[in-house]
Structure 1
Amino acid sequence: MRGGCNERTNLRRGERSGWRGLRSESSKPRLCDGEVRRFISKGPDVISTRVKFDRIAAVSLSALAIASLGDAASAQTTSATAAADERAGGDAIIVTGTRRTDRTVTESAVPVDVFTTQDLATQPSPSLQTILKNLVPSFNQQRNAGADGSAFVRPPTLRGLPPDQILVLINGKRMHRSALVQVAGDSLSAGSQGADLSQIPSVSLGRIEVLRDGAAAQYGSDAIAGVINLGLRTNDSGYELNARYGQTYRGDGKDIQVSGNAGFKLGEGFINISGEFVDQGLFDRAVDRPDSAALRALGVDVPSPPTRYGQPESTTYRFVINSAVPVGDKDEVYFFGNYGYADQEVDFNYRRPIAVTVPGASPAPGQPFAPSQTFGRSHSTIYLDTIPGLFNAQGRPVYSATGATFERSSLYPEGYVPLFLSTNEDVAGVIGYRGETESGIRFDVSAASGRNRIRYNMTSTLNPSLGPTSPTEFYLGTLEQRETNLNLDVSKPVEVGFASPLNIAAGLEFRRESYVVGLGDEASWTAGPYAVQTVQRADGTRFQTTAGIGADGFPGYGPSSVTDTSRNSYSAYLDLEADIVESFTLGVAARYDNFSDFGGTFNGKVSARWAVNDAFALRGAGSTGFRAPTPGQAATANVQTGFPNNSPVPVATATVTPGSTTALYFGSEPLKPEKSVSFSGGVVVTPGGGFNLTVDYYNITVRDRISITSPFVVTAGDQAALFAQGVSNAFDLGQVTYYTNGFKTRTQGVDAVASHRASTDFGTFNTSLAINYNQTRVIERTRPEAINLQRAANIEGLTPKFRGVLAETWNLGMFDATGRVNYFGTITSYNSNDVSATAFTTQKFGADVSFDLEVGITFAERFRVAAGGENLFNRYPDRDLRNIYAQTGASAAGRLYNDASPLSYMGGFWYVRGQVKF
């Protein structure tokens, strides 16, 4: 019955609607006999409940408008006013943080942010992480330019906690982790391994829910900071095509994005397909290095700047599919998945062919510049001729100091910059069957599999220990994360005499997680014949030289790094929630998890909400949480070369596994799970007139935090001792790190979110203001020798305490505009050239504001063109003033800005975009 009030038709469409909730076959919501049954895909299960019309009348229009956003492409026309209506979000039905089907944003006992397709459409960046940074003030990410794999997979943080304490769901199902363990991440994220949000294109999303509360007892490991639930679009008709071009004010960083979405009927079900292509160019904010002028004066043709720092070059393809087909009246089969492929590249540090002397640096702002210092050449001489019949104490040949030699300058007379290449492939799929039994029990059975594989290559470099036989291009190996999840979730509302039915939900989960490191080319990791040489002079005296082992810049993964590590876990949960009386809601959740490598853990959560009156409510929650060490953290090993603490010379830092010879030498201990205790409490104010306000306090204590250690400085004695224990690259090492449970933190903060919607003769105005105050303290260094004071100080100081986002969207007929002001609070960086020091030079980076603006016009209700600017007034963060050289105004590497700056150092960015809908 097209457009009619057929209950069975409505129920079937509601069951398969997922995020959009109930729709009749017409484009307008219909109610039958004063009541409606909703079937909504929520979290890990499907729940239905019969809701009286008089309870939903006040919220039905705005809730259905938001829940049906996934059908935007199926509508033949979408006006700017309708788009504004879709964002009237205070009464949006939520599916994250609760397993009931009738909870709205303002009725939730915990803070949940809901963002729609229109919120995403006006964002200037194609990156989901950058979009979330603009929408959620407690969500941050750093640039990490030139930081190995972290330059490609940027680690986000939420509420001052690292990425592996953020659980990411897609359609309520756990998203797999990235294969990258953040060895080179910032102080807060270093050592973490979380999901790669950039794999999901924003065009595929109908809605995002961000739960800002601990939820390990509900969803399992990683949900200490909160949960990000990505809801895929469900429209079963219509086509949408988007194109965008932009670049920075300086003319670099070109960014081309083409994306599309299409919906099709699949019997009585649907299939929705999204695709995205992004061609992202490099932007470079480096300057010349202090040694460049001296090198050029000696005839070396040094590039200017020698090393590029900024945004990597990237070419990306992403695809997402979402589908569901009804089976009978109440059941459905569903499937969704994604595929992503990205080629990326970034510079490593410039290598000098010869030594030069330059004026010294100023160690801190206001301090005098140091005397002249020598920047040594980036290599040692390799001696090629052996002396017949002579051997050292280890039985190796002795080389002649007067014979033939090899210098890297014979391959690279102007020096060289190793080029680091990454290929990132991501694939995942979820299939499931959900519905309701005759007895009213809702069930959801699903199987999920995901894999992320990162392949590394390097060009324009060499393996110094191979001397003249070294290749200049290397395959370095692969990192791979594999995950398989099997879930059974059931629920049923039961009348027990409360004001609402008691919703009982329970479930079982099996999870297998594997981490694989694949072998690189032998030349990329092998210790060649010139790694350690005993050399004899003409007078008979001897000396020893060493040459770098493996590809210079990033040695490949050798036999000692190769691993295939897996673990299994089994979980069971119970979740109860009900309105005890009309004004008081209580929820209790408990979960047991058992890991094959770390044993069992039990966690619980209690949440409550009291509606004092129609306009004011109190809410709060308390929970425990956990996070088990990932197989990747237990198995990661690599070597990277950088400039720690703005060192004037590159230093090789090896990250080794906790059970390795090197880690044990420096005091490593077996890893154990993190444990957390979280409390939150707040108020919800809904006085009417389109105004909503929520203010929530949170307090999160995490003990036994897993992180990469502070670097251990490797002395000459350490090198000799490690070499004697069989560590072949011992003489290559300048610093060593490994994973450990090293410290305990307390994170406290306040989130305030206000929104207002007004319809006037001058158009519709949607205003939102979100403010976050966040402070993290390292309250105990359980292993002070592994987590030094500098590291602890930077964990506390390099996250802004204040963040705010004020956004205004205006619509009038065919015209629309969106303005956004981002406020970033101050950060403080602690620095020392001695990693064991207890006193530091510090620099405070000032607060800053950036402004975004987009204006658009819609023709014939299906064609839209827009122009906009990100960081419209071209603001840059404060420059880093530590270890600065007078002749360049920058560090030894030529860098101007601190990667921890919350304001990007890209500068202003303009773009134009177009959209077509059919």
Structure 2
Amino acid sequence: MSTTFRTGTLALAVGLALGTAPSFAAGFEETSKVKAKDVERIAVVGSRSAPRSVADSPVPIDIVGGDELGKNASSDMLDMLQAAVPSFNVRQQPISDAASFIRPVNLRGLSSDSTLILLNGKRRHRASVIAFQGGGVNDGAQGPDVSVIPSVALKQVEVLRDGAAAQYGSDAIAGVMNFVLKDDADGGSLSVKQGSYYEGDGDSTIVDGNIGLPFTKDGFVNLSFQLKESDATSRSVQRPDAQALIDAGNTNVASPAMTWGNPKIEDDITLFGNVGLDLGDDKEFYMFGNYSSRTGTGGYYYRNPQNRGGVFTDENGDLLVGAMDGNAGACPNIAITAADVRTQQDYIDGVANNDNCWAFNELLPGGYTPQFTGDINDTSLVMGTRGEIKGGFLDQAMYDISGSVGRNKSTYTLVDTVNPSMGALNADQPGLSFEAGSYIQLEKSFNADLVKGIDMGLSEPVNFATGLEWRQESFEIVSGEQASWKQGPLATQGFSVGSHGFAGFSPEAQGINKRQSIAAYIDVEAYITEDFLLGAALRYEDFSSFGNTTNYKLTAQYQLNDELSFRASHSTGFRAPTVGQANVVNTQTSLVNGELIQSATFPPTHPVSAELGGVELQPEESVSYALGMVYQSGDFFMTVDAYNIEVSDRVAQTDKVFITPAHVAALQGKYPSPELLLNGSITFFANDFDTTTKGVDIVANYGMELLEGDTKFSLAYNFNATEVDDPGLFTSGFKVRRLEEGIPEHRATFTVAQNWENVSMFVRANYFGEWFATHADEPDEFSSYGWSETVGSSYTIDASVSYFLNDSWTLSVGANNLFDKEAQELQKDGGAYGVVSGKYYESGPYDYNGGYYYVKAAYKF
């Protein structure tokens, strides 16, 4: 059993504000395994009163234990949570820039930045990655990087499925997720896990460990680490156009020409620490933080040497021929009439044997497929003190004062690509490699919270909480190497500018943008009678960018009898647009009408965006209603919660707007060389559309003795439907359909867990309802190409078996998607199957890679 120091009782009381209570808070002197399991059902999130059980909470909360998270073939926290919480969704993101490495998530069908992430009760900083290709729901989302948190570091995860912006501030529209770190002062674990997909690829190795140490006789230091390597996967087919080149005798084309699958993850290291120390006189010091780093590499789409516009060909489909001396008239473009343009006599005379005239078929005769690498670095540190005030009018009040800093940096490098405008000068780039630059997200905060019970003659003291918060957020763009962004000698001759696939950040884009905010809140909670709980919260925040906002929340719970209670909540909320969304600059390649085009993203107030209707961003606003019941009888526990979330002025990346000659004329004098934008597309962030999300959550558990062991049945079901009430100016019908149908409305899991003395096992069935399958950002009007279709319901099975050799050693084997349920295939006859080189729709609700198995050895001490 873990050592508990003498502030145990205090730690329970002060886990009120934004802090978290240790797992022994509800009765840490109990030593039995049964009591320990009961303790894990105590949550801090959702109330500023004393931590209470899930059944006593006026708002719905899921609590997932750290051990439960570890019973998953995946080592990614996002996949673990999706298996445990049906209203939580996450997808693989192939060929999606940095979003392939930091995947956006959804709680209750809302974007990833509509869920507030806490670590030990403190706000977690955002990732620097913005999901420019977010699959409709997450277009332009910028949420925290949850994947860096290893399960070995966690005691439990608390998921508040209710709007809570009036309690915690911006982003808590869909809910709150609180990751609670282990706080043991002794003991530890070490494990090694090896896994692979049934297809024989995606091999991964994970080594993790945790150790609890005393910090003097009155404190603890709990340290965790995880090392991970993961190979890429390929669910690819050869593109017909690439095969046609091979058939025509082009020996420079790879097979397959591009890889469609998960990226390769290397050097993935994560360190977490959690420290607590009793200062005496009912006061405590705490500190926790992390260091994480990893490198991910993924592929892009294939560039065909016969038709890739802006590199190999012009807008008429003729071969682009550039004059390196600037005299374009001396190097006319060449009509492509052969299956391999290099065999044409006009190419031989005008390009191959002409030192001044240049075409990319000379450097890359088989075309090329850029490779994208992201180096992700994430660090954080939180320090604070909490305790009891003694004497004066605040006698017995609990305080919590803390400061925090969090930083996430992503640096991008492209390999096997070109800056088309540089022409022959690309040969000087070693490995055709370009460092494109970096994004850096930096957040600092200071919190002061106060909680006091006031006797007002009710059955229990009225809990009164108040506090102040100061936050500063910055988003920095660091320019890439010159070759990744410069306009080379062929820029005015029809060749694209910047490293192809992901253009480097120019010095004009470089800079730091900051925003500060201050907040004050009041939170009151009282038992009006022994069975009737009422709560109210009011929060005011003022931002240096767009101004202020005030939000409230009302909660109630009525205990009808010992078994049944009813609960309800109503709240308003908001999500402040991120500093990144308001200031990001980016150029990436997008798939439109089956063709690859360069698409630029500018700040909404940029001259180009302003010409297209962009204005300064304002916060999203939400109104939420929820009604539920809790039933508990013996070993049976069940909750049913219905909710309605209305969100107006949702901030998202606009659909692509194509630049016309009229736009170019209007931008003269406002933006340098606007003619270079002609025929390209522009996106920016806007407060554009309104939605209403309705749903029902059902959670049920039942324990019994079966087969001479302990058996637990668990059912979790979520119905979630989103309707776009007003699409706004920039949201297409295709995106509306993705918002409304892209995530299955029905999702459920049913788990049977069995424990004997030396063996434990579980089987989990995952159900996914009907959903709208799409690939990339292709509109459904191109469905004849096989880009989209409605797919029926499906299910997968997960299973795991563990054998306890002794008190220290455990051997486990398990699988996700045990029976290798195949993902929905793209329509082969439509053409998309080969064009994207992938076999499956990328938007599926479960892993398109198929079944995955693992073996694991764990040692506890």
| Distance (Å, rounded) in 2 between the aligned partners of 1:695 and 1:430 | 36
Distance 2:326 2:788 in 1: 51
Cα distance change of structure 1 residues 375 and 916 upon mapping to structure 2, 3 Å threshold: farther
Using a 3 Å threshold, how does the CA distance of structure 1 residues 133 and 854 change in structure 2: closer, same or farther? Answer: same
CA distance in 1, matches of 2:67, 2:25: 12
Question: Which secondary structure does the structure 2 equivalent of 1:131 belong to?
Answer: helix
Shift in CA distance, 379/552, structure 1 to aligned 2, threshold 3 Å: farther
- Rate the CA distance shift 1:834–1:185 in 2: closer, same or farther, 3 A: closer
Please, which of 189, 193, 206 is the counterpart of residue 240 of structure 1? 189
Instruction: For 2:780 and 2:762, locate their aligned partners in 1 and report how far apart those are by CA, in whole Å.
Output: 49
**Does residue 480 of the first structure (1) align with residue 440 of the second (2)?**
yes
* Separation (CA, whole Å) in 2 of partners of 1:772 and 1:509: 34
Is the contact between residue 474 and residue 521 of structure 1 (CA under 8 Å) also seen in structure 2?
yes
Alignment of 1:282 with 2:232, yes or no, is yes
AA paired with 2:272? V
Q: Which residue of 2 aligns with 1:342?
A: 294
Q: Flag the 1:883–1:717 CA change in 2: closer, same or farther, 3 A.
A: farther
Q: Specify the alignment match of 1:307 in structure 2.
A: 258
* Aligned twin of 2:596: 650
> Is 1:468 matched up with 2:424?
yes
Structure 1 distance, partners of 2:828, 2:657, is 22
Which is worse superposed, 477-486 or 710-719?
A: 710-719
Q: Which residue of 2 aligns with 1:492?
A: 452
2:74 is equivalent to residue 112 of structure 1: no
Q: Report if the CA contact (8 A) 2:6-2:278 is conserved.
A: no
Letter aligned with residue 638 of structure 1: N
Q: Amino acid of the residue matched to residue 223 of structure 1?
A: A
Distance (Å, rounded) in 1 between the aligned partners of 2:818 and 2:282: 51
Alignment of 1:495-644 (within 5 A): 495-533=455-493, 546-644=494-592
Give the ranges of 4+ consecutive aligned residues of structure 1 lying more than 6 Å apart after TM superposition: 65-69, 374-379, 388-391, 400-403, 830-841
Q: Does 1:739 align with 2:667?
A: no
User: Is contact 1:12-1:329 (8 Å) kept?
Assistant: no
The Cα of 1:503 is off from its aligned counterpart by: 0.6
Q: Per-residue displacement from partner, 1:39-72 (whole Å, max 9, x unpaired)?
A: 3524515799xxxxxxxxxxxxxx8599879x9x
Deviates more, 1:317-326 or 1:142-151: 142-151
Deviation at 1:304, TM superposition (A): 2.1
Structure 2 equivalent of residue 382 of structure 1: 322
C-alpha distance in 1 between matches for 2:328 and 2:152: 69
User: Is the counterpart of residue 901 in structure 1 residue 852 in structure 2?
Assistant: no
Q: Is residue 72–residue 814 contact of structure 2 (8 Å, CA) maintained in 1? A: no
Distance 1:66 1:856 in 2: 30
What corresponds to 1:769 in structure 2? 715
Match of 1:93 in 2: 42
- Taking a change above 3 Å as real, the CA distance of residues 265 and 873 of structure 1, as seen in their structure-2 partners, is same
Deviation at 1:405, TM superposition (A): 1.5
1:255 aligns with 2:250: no
Q: Which amino acid aligns with 2:163?
A: G
- State the Cα distance separating 1:292 from its structure 2 match: 1.9
Residues 170-185 of structure 1: pairs in structure 2 closer than 5 A? 170-185=119-134
Q: Which structure 2 segments of 5+ residues have no match?
A: 309-313, 332-349
Alignment of 1:833-912 (within 5 A): 843-881=789-827, 884-885=830-831, 890-912=833-855
Q: Distance in 2 between matches of 1:761 and 1:821?
A: 21
Report the 3-state secondary structure (helix = DSSP H, G, I; strand = E; otherwise coil) of the residue aligned with 1:664: helix
- Asked if 1:682 is matched to 2:628, the reply is yes
Distance in 2 of aligned mates of 1:847 and 1:730 = 46
State whether residues 797 and 816 of structure 2, in contact with CA within 8 Å, keep that contact through their aligned partners in structure 1. Answer: yes
Q: Amino acid of the residue matched to residue 115 of structure 1?
A: V
Structure 2 CA distance for aligned equivalents of residues 578 and 223 of structure 1: 23
Residue 200 of structure 1: CA displacement? 1.0
> In the alignment, which residue of structure 1 is the partner of 2:340?
none
Q: Gapped runs of 5+ residues in structure 1? A: 17-37, 49-62, 76-80, 357-373, 392-399, 534-545
Equivalent in the alignment of 2:342: none
1:494 positional shift: 1.4
Q: 1:789, CA displacement in angstroms?
A: 1.5
Please say if 1:156 is aligned against 2:105: yes
1:443 to 391, 396, 399: 399
Give distance in 1, aligned partners of 2:258 and 2:708.
52
Identity across the alignment (%) = 34
Structure-2 separation of matches of 1:893 and 1:445: 53
Paired amino acid for 1:207: Q
TM-score (norm 1): 0.85
Tell me the secondary structure at the aligned position of residue 476 of structure 2: strand
Kept after mapping to 1: 8 A contact 2:799/2:815: yes
Confirm or deny that 1:354 pairs with 2:306: yes
Q: Which residue of 2 aligns with 1:194?
A: 143
**Aligned partner letter, 1:892:** V
Could you say which residue in structure 1 is the equivalent of 2:655? Answer: 710
User: Distance in 2 between the 1:113 and 1:488 partners?
Assistant: 27
Measured against aligned partners, the alpha-carbon deviations of 1:786-815 in whole angstroms (never above 9, x if no partner) come to 112211121111011000011121110010
Aligned AA (2:713):
T
Letter paired with 2:15 = S
The root-mean-square deviation of aligned C-alpha atoms, in Å, is 2.9
| One-letter identity of the residue aligned with 2:698 | A
Larger mean Cα displacement after TM superposition, 770-779 or 285-294: 285-294
In structure 2, C-alpha distance between the alignment counterparts of 1:456 and 1:388, rounded to whole Å: 33
Per-residue deviation at 1:307?
A: 1.3
Q: Could you tell me which amino acid in structure 1 is paired with residue 650 of structure 2?
A: R
Number of aligned residue pairs: 823
TM-score normalised to structure 2 length: 0.91
Per the alignment, in what secondary structure is the counterpart of residue 13 of structure 2?
strand
The structural deviation recorded for 1:407 is 2.0
Is this contact kept in 1: 2:552–2:571, CA < 8 A? yes
Select which of 606, 623, 643 maps to 1:660.
Answer: 606
- Residue 772 (structure 2) aligned to one of 823, 828, 831: 828
The match for 1:364 is: none
How big is each residue's C-alpha offset from its partner over 1:323-375, in whole Å with a ceiling of 9 and x where there is no partner? 0110113101110000100111000111122359xxxxxxxxxxxxxxxxx99
Q: Give the deviation of 1:102 after TM superposition.
A: 4.8
Contact 1:379 1:547 in 2 (8 A): no
CA distance in 2 between partners of 1:68 and 1:166 (Å): 31
Q: Is 1:422 the equivalent of 2:374?
A: yes
SS at match of 1:151: coil
Instruction: Give the Cα–Cα distance (whole angstroms) in 2 for the partners of residues 386 and 748 of structure 1.
Output: 60
Given the superposition, is the C-alpha separation of residues 199 and 273 from structure 1 closer, same or farther in structure 2, using an over 3 Å criterion? same
Is 1:452 matched with 2:447?
no
Q: 1:386 to 1:430 in 2, by over 3 A?
A: closer
Q: 1:314 to 1:379 in 2, by over 3 A?
A: farther
CA contact (8 A) 2:17 2:400 kept: no
Q: Contact (CA 8 Å) 1:585, 1:609: kept in 2 or not?
A: yes
In the alignment, which residue of structure 1 is the partner of 2:745?
801
Q: Which of 257, 260, 270 in structure 2 is aligned with 1:318? A: 270
**Offset at 1:569?**
0.2
Distance 2:124 2:202 in 1: 30
Q: Which amino acid aligns with 2:276?
A: A
